[in-house]
Structure 1
Amino acid sequence: MAAVGTSNFDCLEIKTRSIEQTLLPLIKQISSLVETHGSAGALRSSAVARVGQAVNVAVDRFVTVGETIADDYVEVRQGMYEACKEARQAGSAIERICEEVEEDVISDRTTLVRAARCLLSAITRVLLLADIVVVKQLLLAKDKVQRSLDKLESVNNFTEFVKAFSQFGSEMVELAHLTGDRQNDLKDERRRAQMAAARQVLERSTMMLLTSSKTTLRHPESTTARENRDTVFCQMRRAMDLIHFVVKDGVLNTAESSVPMSQKEMDSDTERGTLYSCMRTLQHMLEMSRVTLDGSCHETLSGALDAVLERTQDFTDSAYTSHEHRQAILDCSDRIRGELDHLLGLYANIMGYDGDGGCPELESCISAVLNAAKELSKNLASAALQQAQELPTVTKQGQDLVSSMREQALLDQPDHLHHSSMAFHDSIDHILEVCKLLRHVAASESLQVSARFIEINLRVYGPQVITAAKTVVGYPGSKIAQENLEVFTDMYQWLVSDVTTIVKDVLDGTIVKPEKQVYMSLPRPGKHGTTTKPLKAVRLDSEEQAKIAKSGLEMKLATSEMDAETDKWQESTAQMEENNDIVKRAKNMSSMAFSMYQFTKGEGELKTTQDLFTQAEYFAEEANRLYKVIRQFSYQVPGGNNKKELLEHLDKVPTFVQRLQFSVKDHTVGKAATFTKVDNVIQETKNLMNVISKVVTTCFECATKYKLEFNSGCGGSGRGVGSGGEASSGSGGMGDIKGGGATGSDQSL
C-alpha cells in the first residue's frame, strides 16, 4: 500500500459497522454536550466543565492507541499522526470552552460546534486509517493463499502435492476467518453479497481442486482432467480478485490499477446495469423533469430510455419467452418510446418559458411516460415469472441427465454420453436464461449480485460435469477419476439448489406482489396527497439508530451552527424585522432539521419512517422558498467578491434540493432497503443544511456590509415539527406529517 495522506477524507464514507459502533459513545457525548451548552441554565458550569474534561481525557486515550498503530505501520503513519494531532487539539479546545462557561451566560456556541465537528472528523479519520491496517492484514492472508495456489499448480508428484495442499488448507482457514469477519462488518449490502459469493466459491472449489489435481497427477496425459483442474484454479483466482476488490473499496489511495479489470466490469454490470436499475434511473429523471428544464434534458432522457430498451432485448431475444409475452414487451417498448418522443417535443416548444407554468400539458405527458414505464415493467416481470415457473421441470431434467451421464461414464458408453451431454447443455442454457431475467427484475442489490454469481458459476462449472465424465470414460478403472466426477456432480447439485433459492427470493420480493411495486410520487409541493392504504407506522430500533447516529449528529451540528449565526445577526443588526423572510425561513429549516436529528435518537415528534420522509419533503419545499427569497435579495447586492460568493453558494441549493427529493421518492421494498433510504434521506438533509447555512451566513454578511434591507415578498411558511414539538411557522405540524403520502412501499423496517 502507498503511504496514506489526509487529503481525501472528505469524500469517504464509513463502510463498516465496527467503526460506527466505536464512534457511537463519542457521538453521544458530543451530542449531549452541544445540546446542554445550547440551553442556558441546563447544568451548572462546573458540570459542563466536567463533561468537557471527560471528553478530552477520552480523546487523549483514544489517540494514544492510534499513535501506537502509527508507530507499527509505516503505511498510515503520517496520516495517523496528523489525525491524532487534530483530535487532541479539538479535544483540548472543547475542554477549554467548557471551562469558560458561566452559569447563566451562553458563550459562543459557534466555537463549540466547530470544535465538535473538527473532533468528530479527526476521530473518524483515525478509525478509517486503523481500518486500512485491518485491510492490509486481510490482503496479506489472501496473498499467502494465492502463492500456495501457484505452488499447487506447479507440483509434479503426490508427495509435494500433499505437503503443499496441507499448507494451502491452513492458510484457507485463516482467510475464511478474516473474510467472514469483514463480510459481517460491511454496511453495503452489495459488497456483503459479493464477499459472500467469493467466499462460497473458495469453499466449494477446495474439494474440486483436490480431486482434479490428483486426477491430473495420476493421468498427466489427460486433457479433460487438466481442463477440470485449470477451471478450478481460474475460478478460485477470480474469487480472490473479487475479495481484493471488495476489501479495498473505500480505502484511501486504492491502487485502482491493481484491481483486475474483469472485477471492475463485473461490479458495473452486476448492480448498475440491470433493467430494474435502469428503469429506476429513467423514472427519477422523469420526476426531475417536473421541476427542472435544461438543454441536456433531451439527451439524458433519451439515453436513459435507450438503456432500458437495450435490456428488454434479453427478454425478447430469449428462446424461452412465450410469443404473447414477447409481443406485449415489444408493444410496450413502442408505446414508451412514442410517449417520450412526444414529451421531448413538448420540452422543445416550451424552452422559452420559465418552468412548466406555460404548458399545462407537461404534467400529463410526464404521467403518460411513467404509466408506460409501469406497464412495461409489469410485462417484463410477467415474462420472468413465466420462465421461473418452468424452472422445477428444467432442473429435474438436468439432475436426471447428470445421473445418466455418471452411469454412462461408469459403463463406458461414450455415444450415449455424447447424446446426454448435448441435452445437458440445453438444460444449463435454460437455467442461465432464468437467472439472467430474474437478475434484471430483482429489487435489491444483494439479490442482483447473488443471481449474477450463480449464473457465472453455473456457466463455468456446469459443463465441467461433462468433462469429468469424459475422463472416467477415458480411464474406466480409475478410482480417482470417478471420485472427481462425484465431486463435480455435487457442485452441480449445489448450484441447482442455489438457483431454486434465488428464484424464490426474487419472486417473493419483486414479482409475487406486483401491485405493491407501483412507482408513486410524493405529494406535489403545496398539495396534500394520501395513499389508498394506510402506511404501517414503523420506528427505528436501537441498532438502526446507532447506524445513523453520526449522520444525525453532523446534521445537529449544522443546525446549531446556523442557529448561532442567525442569533448573532439578530442581536447585532437592527434591520432584523419580525417579518424578515430570510431569518424566519432559515430558523424554520433549522427547526425541521433538528426534529429529524431527534428522530435518529428515537426522540421528538417524528416517530416513524413515514414521518421522517414527509418532514424531509417539507424541508426541501422550505429550502426552495428560501432560495427564491435570497435570489431576490441578491439583486440588491453590488457586484464584487461578496456577491460572487453568495451566488456560488446559492446556485448549489437547487441541486441539493433535487437530491433530497429523489431520496425521499426512492421506491423501496423490505427492511434493509427502507433503512438504506432513511440513511440516504438523513445524509441528503445534512448536505442541504450545510449549503443553506453557508448561504444564510454570506447573505447576512452582504446585508451588513452594504446596509441592505431585507424584503419579505414571499408569503407562506413551511410545514414541519420544530425542536420543541410544536409546528414551526406555518400551519403544518404533525397533523400534516402523518397525513402526507410518501412512497407506498416503504412499510417495514
Structure 2
Amino acid sequence: MASAVLSTGFNMDAIRTKSVERTLAPLVQQVTTLANSAETGHVSNRKKGKSKNGSVLVAAVERSIENFVENSASIIRENPDAAHELVKALDDVKRTGAEMVASSREFVGDACSSQRRTKMVAAARALLTAVARLLIIADMIDVRLLLEAVQRVKGNLDHVKGAASNQELTDRFGAMRAEMDYLSEETRKRLNDLRNPGERDDLQAARALLKTNSPIMYTASKAFVRHPEIDPARLNRDFAHSEMSKALQAMDDVIQGRTPSSEVGMSQYGRIGDLIAELDKFQNRVYLDPATYRDKKHRPELEEMLERIVSGAAHIADSENTRDDRKQRIVAECNALRQALQDLLTEYERNAGRKEPSEELDLALVHIGHKAKDLRRHLRRAVVDHVSDAFLDTRVPLLVLIDAAQRQDEQGVEDAGRMFIEHAGKLVEVRLRLLL
C-alpha cells in the first residue's frame, strides 16, 4: 500500500476504523499509483508520450471508483435517516471521480504534457478529498448513533437511582437493561472495528465496568428502597451509580476519539493479561439466583476461580520490583476478597429456597464487588510501578558496561555485565505482564 501521507495529500493514519480502511485502500492504491507516476514522470517512455501501462492504470482507477460508489450506495440504503447528507457526499465522489478518469485519459494520451499532468494530480486530490468526506460523514453517523445510545443508558441509570418503590425500580431497571443490551452490541461492533489497540482496550474496559456494576446497582437500589434511612444502603447505591456513570463517560470519550479517565481506561497502563480476564470472569460468576445455588457445585467452583486470581496477584506482589507498601496492600486485598466470598457463600446458603433474597445477600454482593475493584486497582498500580522503575533510564546499564570496557576494567566489565543482564530481564518481565 502507499505511504501513510500520500503525495496527493491524503493521510491514511487519520482513519480510525478497519472497515473504512478496507473500503478506501483499493481506491487510494490505484489513484496514488497513477498520480505518483505522473509526478515522477514514470508513466511513459514510449514515443510521442503515449502509454499502454497508463491506460491499464486508468482502467483500474475507474473500476475502483465504481466499486466504491456501489458499496457507498448500499450503506446509504441501510441508513435512510442520514440519506440526504450521504447522497450529497456521494454525488461529489461521482463528480470528482469522473473528472479524475477524464483527466487521466487525457494525460495518458500525452504523458509528456506538464499541463495535463498537473490537471490529473489536482483531480486525484479532489477525488480523495471527496471520498474522505463521505467516509467521515458515514463514520460520524455511526458515532452519533452510539453517543445517543450512551445518553439513553445514562438517562435510564438516573431513573433507576430515583426509583421510590420496588415496582418502579423493577420497571426502570428493565428499561435500562434493554438499552444496555443494545449499547453493548453496538459497542462490540465498534470495538472489533477500531484500528487503535489502545482504544479497543479502553472501550472493552468501559463495557466490562458497566456490566459488572449493573447487578450491584440493582441490589443496592433495592436495599435502599426498602430502608432509605440506612446510610450504607444509600452509599452502596451511589457507589454503583458513580461506577456506571464513569463507564458511560469513558465510552463517550473513546467513541469520540478522546482519552478516557485513568480510573477506567486501560491503555495508559497496559493490561495485566489473564489475571484481569479472571477477575472479570469471577465478578460475573458470583451473581447467582439463590434458588439455583448448590453448595457442592458453586462453592468449589468459585473458590477455585478466586485462588487462581490470588495466585496471579501473589506473583506480582512477590516480584522484587513491587514496592513493600504495595505488596502489603495486594496481600490484604486478596485476604479481604477471600473473606468477602465466604460471607457471600454463607448468604447464598441462608437464602436457598426463599422467594425474595435478604438484604444481607444484597449487601454481600455489593461488598464483594468493592473488594474485587480494590484488588484490581492495587494490581494496576503495581504494574505501573514496575514500568516506571524499569524504564526510568534504560541506557544506564549499557553506559556503565561501555565505560568499564573502555577503561579495560575486567572486574568492572563482569559486574556491569551482570547488571545489564538483570536489567534486561526486568524489561522482559514487565513486557510479559502487559498486553500492549
TM-score normalised to the size of structure 1? 0.37
Counterparts of 1:169 and 1:70, CA distance in 2 = 25
CA distance in 2, matches of 1:44, 1:182: 40
Cα 1:497–1:109 change in 2 (3 A) is farther
- Counterparts in 2 of 1:158 and 1:186: CA distance versus 1, 3 Å: same
Alignment-derived partner of residue 192 in structure 1: 200
Contact map agreement 1:33 1:51 (CA 8 A) in 2: no
The equivalent of 1:241 in structure 2 is: 249
Question: In the alignment, is residue 23 of structure 1 matched against residue 24 of structure 2?
Answer: yes
Aligned to 1:124, what secondary structure does the other structure show?
helix
Instruction: Determine if the alignment matches structure 1 residue 99 to structure 2 residue 108.
Output: no
Q: Which residue of 2 aligns with 1:72?
A: 81
Query: Alignment partner for residue 373 of structure 2, among 491, 495, 506?
Result: 495
Tell me which of 345, 360, 369 is aligned to 1:482.
Answer: 360
Partners in 1 of 2:232 and 2:67 — Cα distance? 63
1:34 maps onto 2:35 in alignment: yes
Q: Quick one: distance in 1 between partners of 2:35 and 2:16?
A: 26
- Can you give the 5+ residue segments of structure 2 that lack an aligned partner in the other structure? 1-9, 270-319, 349-355, 399-416, 418-429
Within-5 A mapping of 1:160-179: 160-179=168-187
Question: Does the 8 A contact of 1:90 with 1:119 survive in 2?
Answer: yes
2:93–2:127 contact (8 Å) kept in structure 1: yes
State the SS of the aligned residue for 2:220.
Answer: helix
State the distance in 1 between where 2:37 and 2:202 align.
44
**Shift in Å, 1:203:** 0.7
- Inter-partner Cα distance in structure 1 for 2:65 and 2:321: 62
Q: CA deviation at 1:139?
A: 2.0
Quick one: distance in 1 between partners of 2:160 and 2:264?
32
Q: Aligned partners of 2:69, 2:347: CA distance in 1, in Å? A: 70
More displaced stretch, 154-163 vs 35-44: 35-44
Question: d(CA) in 2 for partners of 1:400 and 1:47?
Answer: 70
Residue 204 of structure 1 and its aligned partner are, at CA, apart by 0.9
Distance 1:100 1:70, change over 3 A: farther
Q: Assess if the C-alpha contact under 8 Å between 2:65 and 2:97 holds in 1.
A: yes
Alignment CA distance shift 1:33-1:403 (3 Å): closer
Map of 1:617-636 to 2, 5 A cutoff? Answer: none
**SS in structure 1 opposite 2:358?**
helix
Flag the 1:222–1:501 CA change in 2: closer, same or farther, 3 A.
closer
In 1, Cα distance between the equivalents of 2:357 and 2:332? Answer: 31
Question: Is the 1:152–1:161 contact (alpha carbons within 8 Å) kept by the matching residues of 2?
Answer: yes
Partner Cα distance (1:270, 1:202) in 2: 13
Per the alignment, residue 147 of structure 1 pairs with: 155
Aligned to 2:95: 89
Q: Is the 8 A contact 1:135 1:248 kept in 2?
A: yes
Residues 31/128 of structure 1: CA separation in 2 closer, same or farther (3 Å cut)? same
Distance in 2 between the 1:231 and 1:395 partners? 19
The one of 195, 201, 209 aligned to 2:217: 209
- Work out which of the residue numbers 126, 130, 133 in structure 1 matches 2:134: 126
Distance in 2, Cα, partners of 1:490 & 1:155: 24
Residue correspondence of structure 1 range 220-299 to structure 2 within 5 A: 220-249=228-257, 266=261
What aligned pairs does 1:345-494 form with structure 2 within 5 A after superposition?
Answer: 385=323, 387-399=325-337, 402=340, 479-494=357-372
**Structure 2 CA distance, aligned partners of 1:81 and 1:214?**
50
Q: Distance in 1 between matches of 2:192 and 2:102?
A: 40
Residue identity opposite 1:25 in structure 2? P
Contact kept, 8 Å, 2:224 with 2:234, in 1: the verdict is yes
Indicate yes or no: 2:63 matched with 1:54: yes
Counterpart CA distance in 1 for 2:338 and 2:172 is: 37
Residues 246 and 264 of structure 2 are in contact (CA less than 8 Å); yes or no, is this contact kept in structure 1? no
- Counterpart contact for 2:164–2:225, Cα < 8 Å: yes
Task: Indicate the residue corresponding to 1:6 in structure 2.
Answer: none
> Is the contact made by 2:89 and 2:134 (CA closer than 8 Å) also made in structure 1?
yes
Residues 52 and 175 of structure 1, relative CA distance in 2, 3 Å threshold = closer
For normalisation by structure 2, the TM-score amounts to: 0.60
Distance 1:209 1:45, change over 3 A: closer
Q: Kindly provide the CA deviation profile for residues 572-625 of structure 1, in whole angstroms up to 9, marking residues without a partner as x.
A: xxxxxxxxxxxxxxxxxxxxxxxxxxxxxxxxxxxxxxxxxxxxxxxxxxxxxx
Cα offsets for 1:122-159 (capped at 9, x unmatched): 11111111111111221222232223223323333323
Q: CA RMSD for the aligned pairs?
A: 4.6
Distance 1:89 1:519, change over 3 A: farther
The letter for the 1-side match of 2:14 is E
Q: Does the CA-based 8 Å contact 2:23-2:68 persist in structure 1?
A: no
Partners of 2:87 and 2:332 lie apart in 1 by 61
- Answer yes or no: is the 8 Å Cα contact 1:59–1:88 preserved in 2: no
Distance in 1, Cα, partners of 2:359 & 2:66: 66
Shift of 1:272: 12
Q: CA deviation at 1:208?
A: 0.6
Give the whole-Å Cα distance in 2 for the aligned partners of 1:137 and 1:28: 31
Alignment map for 1:555-566 (pairs within 5 Å): none
**Conserved 8 A contact 2:199-2:254:** yes
Tell me which amino acid in the other structure corresponds to 1:112: M
